[in-house]
Amino acid sequence: MSLRSTHAKNMLRLRLFVAGEGPNSAAALRNLRRVLAAHPSVPAELEIIDVLKHPVRALDDAVLVTPTMIKLGPVCERRIIGSLSDTEALRALLGLSRE
């Protein structure tokens, strides 16, 4: 999925903290991408941070466990932990309705 920098106001800005190729991390990324792919009209920007490579970034965002996804915007910041296997919860958090 391509990241888009236009429509800054409505854009979903996401940050996913993973631990290497850990199975839950991989599953979280997979699940997130699947949901985003289901809403191609929603612009989104996803930053993936491997805490094994960049542990300081985890401290910066006060991330204690991986995988953790932070929705930076729009509107307020939201966090979700785990493999993102609960698709409904993920969709609700991202403010995406069924299409």
Partner 1 sequence: MTLGIEPATELETLRRRLAEAEQTIQALAGGEIDAITAPLLTTPLLLHRAQEELRRSEKKYRQIVDTAREGIWVIDDQARTTFANRALENMLGCEPGEMLGRSVFDFVDQDEWARTAQGLERRRRGVAERQDQKHIHKDGSAVWVLMEASPLSDDAGHYTGALAMVTDVTERRRAEDALRASEERYRLLFDNNPLPIWLTDLDFSRFLAVNQAALQLFGYERAEFLALSLSQLLSSAELDEVRENIAEMAVEGVHHANRRPLKKNGEVVEVAITSQTFVIDARRVALVIARDMTERNRLEAQLAQSRKMEAIGILAGGVAHDFNNLLSIMVTYTAFALDALKQGDPLRADIEQVAKAGDRAVSLTRQLLAFSRQQILEPVVIDLNATVASIEPMLRRLLGESIDMSLVSEPSLGRVSADPGQIEQVIMNLVANARDAMPTGGELTIETANVSVTSATSSTAAGLKQGQHVMLAVGDTGSGMDAITRERIFEPFFTTKGLGKGTGLGLSTVLGIVQQSGGHLELQSELGKGTRFEVYLPRVDRAVAPIPASASGTAVQGGHETILVVEDDEQVLNLTRSILRRNGYDVLVASNGGEAFLISEQHADAIHLLLTDVVMPRMNGRQVAERLAMTRPEMKVLFMTGYTDDAVVRQGVFDADMALLQKPITPEALARRVRAVLDEPRARLRS
Binding mask 47-76 for partner 1 (x = CB under 8 A): ----xx--x--xx---xxxxx--------x
According to CB under 8 A, which one of 8, 10, 37, 85 is a site residue for partner 1?
85
Binding segment toward partner 1, per CB under 8 A, in 5-13, 34-42, 82-90: 82-90
* C-beta separation of 32 from 46 below 8 A: yes
For residue 33, give the nearest of 75, 77, 94 by alpha carbon. 94
Q: Phi-psi category of 84—alpha, beta or left, where left has phi over 0 and alpha has psi -120 to 50?
A: left
Name which of 7 and 54 has its Cβ closer to partner 1. Answer: 54
* C-beta separation of 69 from 16 below 8 A: yes
Binding site for partner 1 (CB under 8 A): 17-20, 22-25, 27-28, 51-52, 55, 58-59, 63-67, 76, 78-83, 85-86, 89
